[in-house]
Structure 1
Amino acid sequence: MRTDKLQVADFHCDVLSKMQASPDMDFKNDPRLDVTGERLVAGGVELQIFAIYLSASRGRPSFENVLGQIDLFRQKIIGAESLQWLRWKEEVGKRTAGASPWGMLSLEGVDGLEGNLFYAQLCFELGVRFLGITWNYANWAADGVLEQRNGGFTEKGRMLIEWCNDSGMLLDVSHLSQAGFWELADLSTRPFIASHSNAAAICGHVRNLNDEQIKALIAMDGRMGLTFYPWFVCDDGKARMDDLLKHIDHVCSLGGEKHMMFGSDFDGIDTWVENMEHPGKYPELAEHLLRYYPEASVKGWLYENAVSYLRTNLPSQVSKS
């Protein structure tokens, strides 16, 4: 595999939250950002998912701030940088050679929907395609992974699951409590993802998935995005690329070779895996992976596993027209 022809899909970054906090940021090449337009191109990133995350520093989560980040994405990323906006399964694989990368929107925690399913519908109509149900704590829909009671979904949260199943909005369990994970596995009619989580058997952080959760994702043909936050990679928080290989090996040992992808968490982290500080470093990661794994597997983890999930599970524009 020639790394100058690299194709990468990254399922999680927090650029929008940073840009909302600092409106003077320029997505093209601002040094305060990990992910920039120039680095996406340099790193071969053909698809980047941008999370809408409402930081506690902005006060009570509100739908107004959700709309603000959607507008930032529309004007400063899609508009200013000419990224293509991926929303429908018919668009998957339609990117032409030399064209700008695809961008997608996810919502990290439904707190800002304020318990209103009409707001969820508006997000879908405005192009959001993934809902991460919680951040780390409880909200109106479910408990997060740091909520000590480890509760599942509320009644309104179960209504949200039903609406997502009907509408085609896809669900993301990174940050969701274990009880919530298993309840969703029972109730969802669509395979879900963990956009930025690693293997708990390798690094015991509470945000990582245990073997039974990973096996459940595999069984439903969901996806697991390995993340680069050092504290999710190794217990001492001093992560190198070789430490990522331990997670890859473990997920493969559970049968997940076709279900892994990457969700960097760039711009949501303040420490980095050595030599993986931004998306422009993906060619270095690819070269490292190719020393140990077959080219077909590496292509899958970097891009093809993610894209095959989207091709199968994104909603159809034809059915919505």
Structure 2
Amino acid sequence: MNIIDLHCDALMKLRDARGTLSFADGANLNTNKEKLKKGNVKVQCFAIFIEPEMPSDQQFQAALEQIDYFYRDVLAKNPDMKQITKWSDFDRLLDNEIGAMLTLEGVEAIGNDLSKLHILYQLGVRSVGLTWNHANLAADGALEPRGGGLTAFGKEIVRWNNEHRVLTDVSHLCEQSFWDVMQLAEYPIASHSNSRKLCNHPRNLTDEQARAMFKSGGMIHVVYYPDFIREEGAPATIDDIIAHIDHFCSLGGRKQIGLGSDFDGISTFVHHLEDASKHPNLIEKLLRYFKEEDVKGFAYQNFLDHRPQDL
């Protein structure tokens, strides 16, 4: 069964390795091409993430460097990796091809300059999260003590996303920022978040937030990071991930749930789901609890049904 994975951090690892890590088969990558193929991942989204301690005057250059590795190491060296820049490109992938789409995890790199966001869009970014866990010029993140909402600049970014049919990712926002986004965004998505009801972590979504996402037509993609799956105690299992999916279903989201692994951005793993090649273990377990049509939805079809239309 094909998989669409909305989030990984392979580009950060490729940039940090400075040419010593192969995307094709690098053992240190959870989402190398070999593992993607083995796991039936049909589309992998690649996040551009800037470490928060990086000086602000270096951040845009760092973002461009990650994109350069995307073009040189992911695409140019692997002709069966096909960049997705139009929403209809998902439908054009051949059987032996894997789609690759750029996303932006936090707008720190653009500072207060919207033209830089337009440059990233021209290079292929099709989903934008306003911040990581902290505060920036656009919004407060999930771990920002202030818990403020979007700034005027942040609201301008959401309107820009709407105009260009770019997804606005809520996964790392604090609650007030989330609600501000929901008032404005035409294409909201949570690329890698779980249920706070089952795991009380500020990175997860409350039932009220989840219902708002589903009511708006937005998608929630469950994440495989154990800290977001269950609170301190026994190691996280695939059954624990399925519990989050089942809970979101109970809130009315059966047709609006997807997958967002966070591979290459996490250092601990769910047992039997340690890298992209292990996705069949998740699918096999899901098929024990849900109808095949529902599992196909979680794996790929729900996203295809709710993606924006091309301009």
Q: Equivalent residue for 1:14?
A: 9
User: Are 1:232 and 2:228 counterparts?
Assistant: yes
Distance 1:38 1:280 in 2: 8
Q: What whole-Å deviation, never above 9, does each CA across 1:191-228 have from its counterpart, x for those lacking one? A: 31010000000111110000011001100111001000
Q: Equivalent residue for 1:305?
A: 302
Paired residue for 1:42, among 35, 38, 41? Answer: 38
1:16-95 matched pairs, under 5 angstroms: 16-23=11-18, 24-56=20-52, 58-60=54-56, 62-82=59-79, 83-95=81-93
User: Are 1:265 and 2:262 counterparts?
Assistant: yes
Paired residue for 1:185, among 163, 182, 186? Answer: 182
Q: Structure 1 residues 120 and 314 mapped into 2: Cα distance closer, same or farther (>3 Å)?
A: farther
User: Does the CA-based 8 Å contact 1:170-1:314 persist in structure 2?
Assistant: no
Q: What whole-Å deviation, never above 9, does each CA across 1:210-255 have from its counterpart, x for those lacking one? A: 0011001100111001000001001126100111121011100000
Shift of 1:169: 2.0
Shift of 1:59: 4.0
Describe the SS at the equivalent of 1:48: strand
Structure 1 unmatched ranges of 5 or more: 1-5, 317-321
Describe the SS at the equivalent of 2:137: coil
User: Does the CA-based 8 Å contact 2:162-2:187 persist in structure 1?
Assistant: no
Question: Number of residues paired by the alignment?
Answer: 307
Letter of the 2:286 counterpart: L
Shift of 1:89: 2.3
| Structural RMSD (CA) | 1.2
Distance 2:227 2:309 in 1: 31
Letter of the 1:90 counterpart: S
Shift of 1:151: 0.3
Distance 2:135 2:15 in 1: 24
Structure 2 unmatched ranges of 5 or more: none
Shift of 1:309: 2.2
User: Does the CA-based 8 Å contact 2:203-2:228 persist in structure 1?
Assistant: yes
Q: Equivalent residue for 1:219?
A: 215
Distance 1:142 1:122 in 2: 21
User: Does the CA-based 8 Å contact 1:266-1:278 persist in structure 2?
Assistant: yes
Q: Equivalent residue for 1:254?
A: 251
Report % sequence identity.
Answer: 38
Distance 1:314 1:273 in 2: 34
Give the TM-score taking structure 1 as reference length: 0.93
User: Does the CA-based 8 Å contact 2:236-2:271 persist in structure 1?
Assistant: yes
User: Does the CA-based 8 Å contact 2:90-2:99 persist in structure 1?
Assistant: no
Paired residue for 1:139, among 125, 136, 140? Answer: 136
Give the TM-score taking structure 2 as reference length: 0.96
